[in-house]
Structure 1
C-alpha cells in the first residue's frame, strides 16, 4: 500500500481563495472608523496648513480632550446617550462610549498655533505647518 501526501500548495491555494472570497464580500464593510463611538474625520490641506473636521454629535465640549505632538493629533472623549428610565428601547442605532483617535499627519505641525472650533457637533482643527517643515527657496549666487 502506497501512502500519498496532500500537496501543501493546494492547502495554501484554498486558504487564499477563502480569504479573497471573504474580503470581496460585504462582511467587512461595516468595520470602518465611522462606525461605533469613533468619530469620522476628514483631513484637508489648505495651502501649507492642515484642516481636520471631526463629527462629534452628542459629545459635550467639556468632555473632549485634544493633544498635539509633532505630526499627530489625539482626540479623546465620550459620547453619551441618555434614555428616560421608564422608556422601553425598541431600536438602538446611535452608539455611545469612549473613543480615542490618533490621527497621523503628512507634515510636522506647530502645536502652539493650533486653533479649535466646536459648533453644532462639528469640531474643526486648524493645524499650522511647522516652520521647520516648510520648503525653503534657495537663492543661487
Structure 2
C-alpha cells in the first residue's frame, strides 16, 4: 500500500497557475483591440552606490516618453503610435497606445542626479542612492585584542 501525503500548498500553486493562464488567454484575445493597455518591461539592478533601471520601449520615440523620478519611485509614461494606419493588417500582436508604469524603489535615491540613456529602444536610468543608504565598510581592528579579552564585547573602530 502506497501512502500519499496531501500537499495543500502545491495544489494551491497549481490552481494559481491555472487561473493565471486563463487570464493570460483572455488578455491575449482582447489585445487586438486598439485600446488595449500595455506597460513596458523593466529591470531594476542594485549596482552598489547606484540603482540601474532598464525599460524596454521598442518603437517608442524618445520624445514620446515622460520620465518622472522622486526619491522613492519612478513614473514612466508615454505613447507608442501605430506607424501605418493601413487596413491591410491581417494580424497584429503589437500593442499600441498610451502606457504608464510606476516603479517603487527599494531605497531612496538622489532624484536630482539621475542620468538617462536611450538607445535601441532601451531606456537606462542610473539612480544614485542617497548617502544614508549606501553601503559603508567599517573595519574592525582585532589586532589589539589579547586572548584574555576574546570573550568581551568588541568595539568597532571606523576608519
Q: What TM bracket, shorter-length normalisation?
A: 0.7 to 0.9
Q: CA deviation at 1:84?
A: 4.6
Match in the other structure for 1:97: 97
Runs of 4+ that moved beyond 6 A: none
Query: For residues 93 and 123 of structure 1, what CA distance do their matches in structure 2 show?
Result: 22
How do 1:2-17 residues align onto structure 2 when only pairs under 5 Å count? Answer: none
Q: Secondary structure at the match of 2:132?
A: helix
Q: Is the 8 A contact 1:41 1:54 kept in 2?
A: yes
Q: 1:20, 1:84 → 2: CA distance? A: 43
RMSD of Structure 2 on Structure 1 (CA): 2.5
Corresponding residue pairs, total: 119
Shift of 1:29: 4.3
Contact 1:38 1:101 in 2 (8 A): yes
Q: Which runs of 5+ in 2 are unaligned?
A: 1-11, 28-35, 139-155
Unaligned residue ranges in structure 1 (runs of 5+): 1-18
Show the counterpart of 1:126. Answer: 126
Q: TM-score, normalised by structure 2?
A: 0.65
Q: Which residue is 2:48 aligned to?
A: 47
- Residues 20 and 46 (structure 1), Cα distance of their counterparts in 2 relative to 1, 3 Å cut: closer
Q: Which has the larger radius of gyration?
A: 2
**Superposed counterparts of 1:4-43, under 5 Å:** 23-25=16-18, 26-29=21-24, 37-43=38-44
3-state DSSP of counterpart to 2:22: coil
